Amino acid sequence: MPELPEVETTVQGLRNKVLNRTFVDVWTDWEKQIKKPSFSIFKRTIKGKKINNIWRRGKNIVFDLSDDYSLLIHQKMTGHLLYGNWKKEKVNEYIHLKFFLDKGVLVLSDLRKFAKVELWKTKDLLKYLDSLGPEPLEINFKEFKLKKGKIKQVLMNQNVIAGIGNIYSDEILWESKINPFKDASQLTDKELKLIFNNTKKVLKKAVRLKGTSISDYRDVQGEKGFFGKERKAYQRDKCQRCNFPISREKIGGRTASFCPKCQKI
């Protein structure tokens, strides 16, 4: 699933490609991709709307449009946005939604069809997004508030902190030498500071390398990100620090990848 680095990379690419463009038409072969409102109303309403700004909140991509509307896209597990005249080939063969602009075409490729596309009145969307936790790259240590629960699950809780998912929670905890099953309430101040610092370190590096493309993710030009080569724990066979076999255990329906030697509980 695209997380903060992948979504930020996508937003940066979109700003270069479609900022100030206007929606001319919309096509889909699966109307349920549009979650709000119905596809017929969505298509009618978005026509003629100009893209005034594009930004990220957690894992959400937000297009600020003219007439006080906003387009929300959450790419979910396998979605990625592409700009250009894309054909259905290779990783991009699952194109189910096309936005025709006054210059170029923006498409959504989504193998699993989990991606969410919604059209909101801007003021209502801003209220909805307020429920998300703070942005990890924008807060200081005093604002880094973690609730009770297994630390990996806490880091992935979007209401606690926005943008971190399975990949980067594994990488942050590996860097911090902290077991994903340790309860956040049992962390020392030193451990909390380690997690805080490594959260910023890992996410900044991943943004710089344009995200992780182990599976479906591509940027708006169809290119892979490079952080996959740098990962230390996620889907690795051996620890990149001590060469001990990486363990994979279920935690809250997700798989935690960690080194049981370096990350003792």
What is the enclosing helix (H) or strand (E) of 166?
helix 166-176
Q: Residue 172 in contact with residue 198, Cβ under 8 Å?
A: yes
Query: Which are the catalytic amino acids?
Result: 2-3, 59, 254
| Tokens matching residue 47 | 């026509």
- Nearest CA to 73 among 125, 117, 10, 114? 117
141-258 CATH: 1.10.8.50
Contacts of residue 229, defined as CB under 8 A and 6 or more positions apart, other chains included, come to none
Q: What is the pLDDT of residue 86?
A: 57
* Distance, CA of 24 to CA of 103 (rounded, Å): 9
Q: Domain 4-121: what homologous superfamily?
A: MutM-like, N-terminal (3.20.190.10)
Determine contact, residues 43/51, Cβ cutoff 8 Å.
no
Q: Say how far apart CA 172 and CA 162 lie, in whole Å.
A: 14
Q: What is the rounded CA–CA span in Å between residue 148 and residue 223?
A: 39
Q: Are 144 and 192 in contact (CB under 8 A)?
A: yes
Domain boundaries, the chain: 4-121, 141-258
pLDDT digits (tens, 9 = 90+) for 94-134: 899 999 999 999 999 999 899 999 999 999 999 999 999 99
DSSP category for residue 242: T
Question: Residue 94 has what pLDDT?
Answer: 86
d(CA 230, CA 51): 35
Ramachandran category for residue 5: left, alpha or beta (phi over 0 → left; psi -120 to 50 → alpha): alpha
Distances (CA, A) of 189 to 134, 146, 157: 20, 12, 21
pLDDT confidence of residue 198: 98
Q: What is the pLDDT of residue 87?
A: 55
Positions of the chain with pLDDT lower than 50, given as ranges: 88-89
Report whether the peptide linkage leading into residue 37 is cis, meaning its omega lies within 30 degrees of zero. Answer: yes
Rounded (10°) angle between helices 189-208 and 166-176: 130
Edge-first strand listing for the sheet containing 116-121: 34-36, 116-121, 69-74, 60-65, 51-57
